[in-house]
Chain A
Amino acid sequence: MTKEEPLVSMKGISIEFPGVKALDNVDLRLFPGEVHALMGENGAGKSTMIKALTGVYKINAGTITVNGQNRIFNGTADAQNAGIATVYQEVNLCTNLSVGENVMLGHEVRGHLGINWRKTHEAAKTYLAQMGLTDLDPHTPLNEISIAMQQLVAIARAMVIDAKVLILDEPTSSLDANEVQDLFQIMRKVRDRGIAILFVSHFLDQVYEIADRMTILRNGKFVEETMVKDMPRDVLITKMIGKNADELSLIGTKSRKETPQAATDRPLASVRGFGRKGSIYPFDMDLFKGKIMGLAGLLGSGRTEIGRLLFGADKPDKGTYTFDGKKISIDSPATALKNRIAYSTENRRDEGIIGDLTVRENIILALQATRGMFRPIPRKEADRIVDKYIKELNVRPADPDRLIKNLSGGNQQKVLLARWLATDPELLILDEPTRGIDIGAKAEIQQTVLDLAAQGMSVVFISSELDEVVRLSDQITVLKDRHKIDLMDNDDTVSQQTIVEDIANTSVSGQSQGKEER
């Protein structure tokens, strides 16, 4: 698959923002018929590089050559005209329009009397069929189909504009395993047509599965371009984070053994027959001090729903909740906080951080909420708390007055963690605390979780990455299709494989019918 001439050649790209050099002399070459992975930690400059190629940002130095022609992009339309199409993580389509309209928007088939809708939808149908969406009616409103399908629709749109280069920015972060496979199948198809694909993902497995070539960035600088097959994973990780990743793999295996067995006999929190119609079927769960309860299951299996119920973000309609020996009824996050239960959301950007507030304000937010508005936290006290957590969690840059939206994803997550730790919780529910953040920050957060448990906190750890759940948890609750199907003591017999088999082999259909009839 060697092609001598690159389709896109970016040379010596530099982009400066006030006070920051986001990209410094970076090269990137995209070859036709190849999937090229852009690798790097959060803040390495991947998104900036993509935005340079799509015309969102103007470059301060360097050249962009597409198909042998020098190009200067003054906007996204310029880049599209040069044949560069992008599918963003949050799918940039219009949910108010139909699938077919989205595919053809700006390229509708026109007749003598304006747009010919019948032909437009027919054309959309053929493009959708190329994406394997043969059964999808182009008249369907976009907001009625899944994110995974929306992504395929966005790729179909790229085919309409006859793109030579397709950029996929974190396309798999909200897809489940099957959807990822569907996407990869389409990506291979598109690649084999001679289109150059630029693929960005945090999932190393996926990169190794789909990509042919990779470019590694670190701190806004070019590190290396190489064929994927020539790059062992450990070397890649080392190059991405600039330090050896062995420490990462040691996390858990070592620390878990150190966690005291059965700290108390009485659970800190205990729910019986807890459930909510339409989100999770009734389940029992005991959470102990100093223990980490992992929740494992596929997307939509009810992981997040359990977290939200335990925190009172959703109201349970069945069951009892016992906390610290007392029966409690948690009907809102405020009561949960009073009972020293904290929940860090999976939806960091929308439900977590408040972008226009500073790091300091974001950290003390929840603590202030527990005190009420008439008892402000004294400035000194606030500074002490903020400094403590910035140091302990290694938030970078260590500047409490910086707006949180200007931090990388990993550091935003640390600030969120700090927010909940500042309320001094006894039960901490972490929903996808490591999603979309780089390996270095991931390791730090994992270590923090273990430390917290060692200090006696009870932790519920929710993650879609099974290896993480297996590494950190003392016990693992396995979920499938909104049912709790198993509770495992995480000993040496448990691995990712046993959980996957458990999910695959357990049938919940009979169970669910029985429960619905009640």
Chain B
Amino acid sequence: MMKKSASRQTGFRLSPRAIPTVAAVVIFLLMLIMGQVLFGTYIRLGFMSSLFMDHAYLVILAVAMTFPILTGGIDLSVGAIVAITGVVGVKLMIAGVPASLVIVIMIAIGAVFGLLAGVLIEEFNMQPFIATLSTMFLARGIASIISTDSLNMPQNNNFSWIGGEGLKIIDNPKISNDLSLNFGVIVALVVVAVSYVILHKTRTGRTIYAIGGSRSSAELMGLPVKRTQYVIYLTSAVLASIASIVYVAGIGSAKNTMGVGWELDAVAAVVIGGTLITGGYGYVLGSVIGALVRSIIDPLTSDFGVPAEAVTIVVGLMILAFVILQRLVTFVRKE
């Protein structure tokens, strides 16, 4: 309360709803600084480059999850869509299908699952949670039927370059501290930019926020709610298959069990990034920061000597802290 009145006096107009997102940025920076001070390897070009390249897929998934969560919905199927598109994609490559066609097919598969979720939600009036839970099991099941082996991409494919070493922008001769960028990161950045434009610069985007505020109001205002819901679940599923393309290209293999729990990592990133889980408020850039916070937890905890088994506890505590922060902000608002 004190802070609020103080900021009013100085005329600084920060929407209280943006506080969780700003907090996420601050915490990300603090984590970087802490890592740098204690371990000396964080604020370096090499570290940042690999952080982005290794987690481009998570950034894309977090952006994907932002769409349904903004409306108060959720898409639990994104992890399973990563698996099915990955398995199908690598199978096709082994069979000699050219990479460009493989990419089109992978995206099409994602779109089918997104469309299915949209139909279940809009035509059969199902909760997004239940609808995407069922498409999640369906996608995972089909992936397992196709293959339960770890499928390796053939040598000399036209695909791996997407997630490969990438080009070195600053080649640091002494140590492995190069600023590098691969195509996966570029894809992620494009996804972020396009999503930002959709959400903030198009009527469809504003309808998404309106649905998050009140679906019935949005309907009574004559907004195309149903069509927008289809757009949302199609977008999240297609982005999930793009995440799959980036990830599979990076590791060079696919398996039916990959992506288990990623939907929840994506939810964590979105929540940490300051999007309200009940919808209506949030920013796609916040989700990007959320994904980065989520990504940096792994190296940081391992440097601290936290056993890998306990990392999820750290993630859980962070989510808790951010949700409490959101609650406080909402509370201050009501006062």
Interface residues of chain A, those whose CB is within 8 Å of chain B, are 54, 76-77, 79-81, 86, 88, 92-97, 101, 105-106, 108, 110, 113-115, 141, 143, 157, 161
Contact = CB atoms under 8 A, between A and B. Distances in A.
Contacts of B219: 76
B281 interface: yes
B4 interface: no
Contact of A94 (B15, B197, B200, B209): B209
B280 A96 contact: yes
14 contacts: A54-B220, A79-B222, A92-B216, A93-B214, A94-B210, A96-B209, A97-B213, A105-B207, A106-B207, A113-B197, A114-B200, A114-B202, A115-B202, A141-B15
Given A96-B213, A106-B221, A110-B203, 20 more contacts: A77-B222, A80-B222, A81-B222, A88-B220, A92-B217, A93-B221, A94-B210, A94-B280, A96-B212, A96-B279, A97-B206, A101-B206, A105-B206, A106-B203, A106-B207, A108-B206, A114-B197, A114-B200, A114-B201, A115-B203
A86 B216 CA distance: 13
A94 B203 contact: no
B189 interface: no
Nearest to B16: A141
A94 B201 contact: no
A272 to B, nearest CB: 29
B223 interface: yes
A105 B212 contact: no
Given A94-B213, A94-B214, A96-B213, A105 B201 contact: no
In this complex, the member of A80, A81, A92 whose beta carbon has the largest number of chain B beta carbons within 10 angstroms is: A92
In this complex, the member of B202, B203, B217, B218 whose beta carbon has the largest number of chain A beta carbons within 10 angstroms is: B217
Contacts of A54: 220
In this complex, the member of A88, A106, A110, A157 whose beta carbon has the largest number of chain B beta carbons within 10 angstroms is: A106
Given A92-B220, A96-B280, A115 B214 contact: no
B208 to A, nearest CB: 11
Interface residues of B, number: 26
A110 B203 CA distance: 9
B206 A92 contact: no
A157 B222 CA distance: 11
A105 B221 CA distance: 8
B261 interface: no
Contact of A95 (B197, B200, B214): B214
Contacts of A141: 15
Given A96-B281, A97-B209, A161 B222 contact: yes
Contacts of A106: 203, 206-207, 221-223
B221 A157 contact: yes
Nearest to B282: A96
Contacts of B221: 76, 92-93, 105-106, 157
Contacts of A114: 197, 200-202
Contacts of A97: 206, 209-210, 213
Nearest to B218: A94
Interface string B186-230: 000000000001001111001101101110111111111000000
B203 A108 contact: yes
B206 A86 contact: no
Contacts of A96: 209, 212-213, 279-281
B278 to A, nearest CB: 10
A80 B224 CA distance: 12
A105 B210 contact: yes
A183 B200 CA distance: 33
Contacts of A80: 222
In this complex, the member of B210, B219, B221, B333 whose beta carbon has the largest number of chain A beta carbons within 10 angstroms is: B221
Nearest to A141: B15
B217 A93 contact: yes
A143 B224 CA distance: 23
Contacts of A110: 203
A101 B200 CA distance: 11
A79 B221 CA distance: 11
B135 to A, nearest CB: 27
A94 B280 CA distance: 9
Contacts of B209: 94, 96-97, 101
Nearest to B212: A96
A84 to B, nearest CB: 10
Contact of B201 (A81, A86, A113, A157): A113
A450 B203 CA distance: 56
A79 B222 CA distance: 9
In this complex, the member of A77, A79, A101 whose beta carbon has the largest number of chain B beta carbons within 10 angstroms is: A77
Contacts of A161: 222
A95 B215 CA distance: 11
Contacts of B217: 92-94
A106 B212 CA distance: 15
Interface in B221-270: 221-224
A79 B219 CA distance: 12
B214 A76 contact: no
In this complex, the member of A93, A94, A106, A157 whose beta carbon has the largest number of chain B beta carbons within 10 angstroms is: A94
Contacts of A86: 220
A105 B216 CA distance: 14
Nearest to B198: A114
A76 B222 contact: yes
Contacts of A93: 214, 217, 221
A94 B207 CA distance: 10
Contacts of B222: 76-77, 79-81, 106, 161
B306 to A, nearest CB: 38
Contacts of B210: 94, 97, 105
A95 B220 contact: no
A97 B218 CA distance: 12
By Cβ-Cβ distance, the 10 closest A-B pairs, closest first, are A114-B201, A94-B213, A96-B280, A96-B213, A80-B222, A92-B220, A92-B217, A77-B222, A94-B210, A115-B201
Contacts of A113: 197, 201
Contacts of B279: 96
In this complex, the member of A92, A96, A108, A114 whose beta carbon has the largest number of chain B beta carbons within 10 angstroms is: A96
Contact of B223 (A81, A95, A105): A105
A209 B276 CA distance: 45
Interface in B16-41: none
Nearest to A113: B201
Interface in B275-306: 279-281
A137 to B, nearest CB: 11
Nearest to B276: A96
Contacts of B280: 94, 96
Contacts of A92: 214, 216-217, 220-221
A114 to B, nearest CB: 3
A132 B256 CA distance: 62
A54 B222 CA distance: 10
Contacts of A105: 206-207, 210, 221, 223
A477 B213 CA distance: 40
Contacts of A157: 221
A508 to B, nearest CB: 24
A101 B207 CA distance: 10
A113 B200 CA distance: 11
Interface in B96-141: none
Nearest to B281: A96
Contacts of A94: 209-210, 213-214, 217-218, 280
